[in-house]
Amino acid sequence: MTHDPGPAFRALHQSGNPFILANAWDAGSAKVLASLGAQALATTSGGHAFTLGRQDMGTISRDESLSHAADLVAATNLPVSGDFENGYGDAPEVVAETIRLACEAGVAGCSIEDTAFDADKAYDFDLSVERIKAAVSATRALPRDFVLVARADGIMNGYYDIDEAIRRLQAYDAAGADCLYAPFPKSIDDLRRIVACTKKPINALAAGPVFTQLTRKDYADMGVARISLGSALARVTHQALVDVAGAILSDGDMSALAEGASKTDIDAMLASGPGLS
């Protein structure tokens, strides 16, 4: 690729001045988000899975994810971060290869989490650190800039507590990860602990009943550097489908169809897509 999205993407990561990382699930949603002013996009493994008629978590192959990410890269001129789950393999060398392939797909960075999907558990601490070390080594050997996010997903998945999450994040920090992320802490105070545990940028997930009630300023005041939406936007669209189609199919009530965006507005958004050059 001739354009390097990495420097512009890295520059967005400012602790205390968070940007919204808008997660798209197809080229159309990517273009709409760009037209609405998004500064950067990310894939969402959950949203992508939904488009394929699959459940979230561990149901998409590496080839599918890379191809999907390349489609989003081509859809706009915004930097795109890849949600590449656990790197699509247990071994550190598999994670390193995923990083190399992600660079070829054109993404500006990606996240790697510590979940062993086949075993339904978190990787042991030492292995989880070795996997991030391998990812860091791979990013430093790339021909362009690349923002690596190390994720500690054990709180969200019920595998470990906040203390273990912080232990892992600090180890990932020491291994050289560029940004750190522990989705779904139990409380706002726990998110503050996560932010305070490192000088690296922290990603916060705006999802669930607690964290969707916070504003960008609230996250900024805590020192968060970026706010991702995960699969939340995709799930909102599915809820609209359930609500509107449910009323049509159960009661024959088609009134909600009049509330959809106009074809003219959608066409205009799909024809645009301003972003970082």
pLDDT band at 5 (very low <50, low <70, confident <90, very high): very high
Cα–Cα distances in angstroms (integers) from residue 53 to residues 49, 122, 201, 241, in the given order? 6, 26, 34, 14
Query: Distance (Å, rounded) from C-alpha 84 to C-alpha 110?
Result: 7
Query: Distance (Å, rounded) from C-alpha 248 to C-alpha 112?
Result: 41
Q: What is the 3-state secondary structure (H, E, C) of 118-129?
A: HHCEECCHHHHH
Q: Which of 134, 138, 74 is nearest to 103 (CA)?
A: 138
What is the separation, in whole angstroms, between the first and last Cα of the chain?
14
* Sign for the pseudo-dihedral over CA of 238, 29, 111, 181: negative
- Residue type at 19 in one-letter notation: F
pLDDT band at 275 (very low <50, low <70, confident <90, very high): very low
SS3 state at 94: helix
Against a cut of 0.85, is the pTM above it? Answer: yes
**Domain regions of the chain by residue span:** 6-271
DSSP 108-165: SEEEE--EEGGGTEEPPHHHHHHHHHHHHHHHHTSSS--EEEEE--HHHHTSS-HHHH
Query: How high is the pLDDT of residue 57?
Result: 85
List pLDDT tens digits, range 53-80.
999 888 999 999 999 999 999 999 999 9
Arithmetic mean of pLDDT, 149-155:
98
pLDDT band at 274 (very low <50, low <70, confident <90, very high): very low
Arithmetic mean of pLDDT, 16-44:
97
Query: How high is the pLDDT of residue 3?
Result: 74
List pLDDT tens digits, range 214-255.
999 999 999 999 999 999 999 999 999 999 999 999 999 999
List pLDDT tens digits, range 164-221.
999 999 999 999 999 999 999 999 999 999 999 999 999 999 999 999 999 999 999 9
Dihedral angle of Cα 159, 165, 169, 175, to the nearest 10 degrees? -50
pLDDT at 38 over 60: yes
User: Which CATH number applies to 6-271: 1.10.3720.10, 2.60.40.3080, 3.40.50.261, 3.20.20.60?
Assistant: 3.20.20.60
